């Protein structure tokens, strides 16, 4: 798929992986709808950066865990773009109170890390004749387990991978659906770690460093450009998933 002039919606694009992906897609010549929830200043900076590389980029504020706001966001995208070629379901959260039995954390993470992707997909599909969807999962979902202090996070990333495959079966060949499963990426989700903290956090990877958001953006663009992958989950974890039996 050639990305020039393609219309893209990316959720959670004011920071981290979403930000890097929005900018990388603008560099490819796409018009990007930059979704965010609360950080208008950061989102505006992403828009300004995207506008250096491509035309027609827009900000679309919406809480993607809220169906009404998602519906309104997609109406706005329809008005501005008329259609969508690509959707990247990236928005997600980590709940500091996550543990194996915290039902509130499970509900919070369920809405923000899983149901959000289903709702955005539901309201985006009427705008898509053909194209690509990429879901942002996690190595925590990939392995079939995460860690007890991220029990809800792991469970709903695993659900997102399962959903990715069923959606791929449902929508192929017109729309190809895949996912990425990153390891530890240096983003605000980790509290903007400085170089020393990044070094420490990166030790769980065989590459002995954290992954940069641009490296996940590269993988997302690879999946978007590739026309043969369907229902695949691409792991970019610096070898983290291989460490278990080490
Ligand atoms: N960082 C990692 O190590 C890592 C590893 C594996 C997978 N992931 C996944 O990668 C994705 C992005 O993570 P990240 O590390 O880049 O996160 P981040 O730096 O914390 O950024 C999160 C982004 O999502 C937006 N967001 C959060 N909740 C939202 C909602 N309900 N509606 C709309 N936007 C919302 C935020 O917008 P505002 O700031 O405007 O509120 C922000 O733009 C997530 O799905 C995460 O689970 C991350």
Q: Which of 14, 16, 147 to mutate to test the pocket of ligand 1 (most atoms within 8 A of CB)?
A: 16
Instruction: Give the per-residue pLDDT at 246.
Output: 54
User: With a 6 A CB cut-off, is 18 part of the ligand 1 pocket?
Assistant: yes
Length of the chain: 246
Based on its alpha-carbon atoms, the radius of gyration of the chain, rounded to whole angstroms, reads 17
pLDDT in tens, 136-183: 999 999 888 888 999 999 999 999 999 999 999 999 999 999 999 999
Q: Is the CB of 135 under 6 A from ligand 1?
A: no
Report CA(90)–ligand 1 centroid distance (Å). 7
Q: Checking phi first, is residue 73 left (phi over 0); if not, alpha (psi -120 to 50) or beta?
A: alpha
Q: What are the boundaries of each domain within the chain?
A: 7-240
Provide the sign of the torsion angle of the four alpha carbons 41, 46, 49, 51, taken in this order. Answer: negative
Nearest to 137 by CA among 2, 19, 236: 236
First-to-final CA distance of the chain: 40
**Ligand 1 atom closest to 190 (CA):** 1
pLDDT of residue 142: 87
Give the number of other CB atoms < 10 A from CB of residue 130: 12
Ligand 1 touching residue 238 (CB < 6 A) = no
Asked whether residue 89 carries a pLDDT value surpassing 90, the answer given is yes
pLDDT tens-digit series, residues 107-140: 999 999 999 999 999 999 999 999 999 999 999 9
The 3-class SS string of 191-244 reads CCCCHHHHHHHHHHCCCCCCECHHHHHHHHHHHHHCCCCCCCEEEECCCHHHCC
- The whole-number pLDDT of residue 146 equals 84
Indicate the pTM of the whole model. 0.98
Give yes or no for a contact between 87 and 128, defined as CB atoms under 8 angstroms apart: yes
Quick one: pLDDT at residue 176?
Answer: 98
> What is the CATH number that goes with domain 7-240?
3.40.50.720
Cβ atoms 235, 181 nearer than 8 A: yes
Q: Coil, helix or strand for 180?
A: strand
Q: Is 53 a catalytic residue?
A: no
């Amino acid at each position: 798929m050639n990305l020039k002039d393609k219309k893209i919606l990316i959720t959670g694009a004011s920071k981290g992986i979403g930000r890097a992906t929005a900018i990388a897609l603008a560099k490819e010549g796409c018009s990007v709808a930059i979704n965010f929830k609360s950080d208008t200043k950061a989102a505006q900076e992403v828009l300004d950066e995207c506008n250096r590389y491509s035309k027609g980029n827009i900000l679309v504020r919406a809480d993607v865990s809220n169906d009404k706001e998602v519906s309104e966001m997609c109406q706005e995208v329809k008005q501005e773009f008329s259609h969508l070629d690509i959707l990247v379901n990236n928005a997600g959260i980590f709940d500091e109170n996550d543990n194996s039995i915290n039902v509130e954390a499970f509900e919070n993470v369920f809405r923000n890390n899983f149901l959000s992707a289903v709702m955005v997909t539901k309201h985006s599909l009427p705008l898509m004749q053909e194209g690509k969807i990429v879901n942002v999962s996690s190595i925590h979902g990939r392995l079939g387990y995460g860690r007890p202090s991220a029990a809800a996070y792991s469970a709903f990333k695993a659900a997102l991978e399962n959903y990715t495959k069923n959606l791929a079966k449902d929508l192929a060949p017109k729309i190809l659906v895949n996912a990425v499963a990153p390891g530890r990426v240096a983003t605000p989700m980790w509290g903007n770690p400085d170089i020393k903290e990044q070094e420490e956090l990166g030790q769980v990877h065989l590459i002995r460093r954290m992954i940069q958001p641009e490296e996940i953006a590269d993988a997302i663009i690879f999946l978007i450009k590739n026309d043969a992958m369907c229902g695949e989950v691409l792991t970019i974890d610096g070898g983290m998933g291989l460490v278990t039996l080490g």
